[in-house]
Amino acid sequence: MSENCTHDCGSCSADCASRTADFRAEQNQHSNVKKVIGIVSGKGGVGKSLVTSLLAVTARRRGYETAILDADITGPSIPKAFNVHEQLMGTDDGVIPAQTKTGIRLVSLNLLLENETDPVVWRGPIIAGTVKQFWTDVMWGDVDFMFVDMPPGTGDVPLTVFQSLPVDGVILVTSPQELVGMIVKKAARMAEMMNVPVLGLVENMSGFQCDQCGKVHDIFGASHAEAVAKELGIPVCARLPINPKLAAACDKGMVELFEGDWLEKIADAICGEDK
């Protein structure tokens, strides 16, 4: 323990004996979440929300009770992808999550704002506290798999999720650029520090296949996924191509209608075989 220790482990990432204490928060009494999977990357704009959405849809299609906790407080995009806009309601027992058309349960700060475009100008501890409340104050019900859409970086919110929620594993999301791969390694090292398993790597924007000639163009450069995964000792579980139809589905709130089997392998690893 450092001589400058404040004893506030909730805002500290130092690796010391005090970290063996259990800081996990209690679920709401009306929640029974069996497995929590975090979707992380040290870099913004690589597609964490897209991967979160597609994994939740894939698990739901397999018959599992599925939920998304949108931990990206200042940049929430999950509600738009599912065309969910109504404000969340609550009772004396807690907050009632929204539901998508196929029954995926969803909580996001955008569903608590008066206007969806209002900025969230909060300091880190308040943002982290809000994420924790999404776990303790929401009546999630019986959930087989909860996917947590993390904000970029290795700051307050990821630390709060790792310490407060019983995270069973994380999925790393990257894109082909070498710079992104370097930053993604930071997220992997953070998960390692917090004793959270890294289940695999998903590379988004992994080339574009021309409709006319069929050739794949590496618009963002050659892939570095295999090298990054090998260094971290994890598998490359999926490569998501640049797909205009998929992007349009998210923009129109129709992500639940996507066609593609890109994430089936990683869904097998998380969920096991279909029911």
Contacts of 146 (CB under 8 A, 6+ apart): 33, 35, 36, 37, 66, 67, 68, 69, 140
| Rounded CA separation 135/31 (Å) | 9
Q: Is 42 annotated as a binding residue?
A: yes
Supply the pTM of this predicted model. Answer: 0.88
Q: Is 221 annotated as a binding residue?
A: no
**Taking 70 as the threshold, does the pLDDT of residue 104 lie above it?**
yes
- Residue 237's identity, in one-letter code, is C
For helices 178-193 and 156-164, give the axis angle rounded to 10 degrees.
40
Q: How far is CA 158 from the centre of its chain?
A: 10
Q: Is 41 annotated as a binding residue?
A: no
Of the pLDDT bands very low, low, confident and very high (cuts 50, 70, 90), residue 264 is: very high
Average of per-residue pLDDT across 199-218 = 84
Q: Is 90 annotated as a binding residue?
A: no
Of the pLDDT bands very low, low, confident and very high (cuts 50, 70, 90), residue 4 is: low
Write a three-state SS string for 57-69.
HHHHHCCCCEEEE
Quick one: 213 exposed, middle or buried, by C-beta within 10 A (0-12, 13-18, 19+)? exposed
* Rounded-to-5 percentages of helix, strand, coil across the chain: 35, 20, 45
Q: Could you tell me if 94 and 85 are in contact, meaning their C-beta atoms sit under 8 angstroms apart? A: no
Tokens at residue 197, please?
A: 């398993």
Q: Is 175 left (phi over 0), alpha (psi -120 to 50) or beta?
A: beta
pLDDT of residue 213: 80
Q: Is 38 annotated as a binding residue?
A: no
**pLDDT tens column, 156-189:** 999 999 999 999 999 999 888 777 778 888 999 9
Q: Could you tell me if 11 and 125 are in contact, meaning their C-beta atoms sit under 8 angstroms apart? A: yes
**pLDDT tens column, 11-70:** 565 666 554 467 889 999 999 999 999 999 888 888 999 999 999 999 999 999 999 999
End-to-end C-alpha distance for the chain, whole angstroms = 48
Q: Is 132 annotated as a binding residue?
A: no
Q: Could you tell me if 108 and 79 are in contact, meaning their C-beta atoms sit under 8 angstroms apart? A: yes
**pLDDT tens column, 189-208:** 999 999 999 998 999 888 88
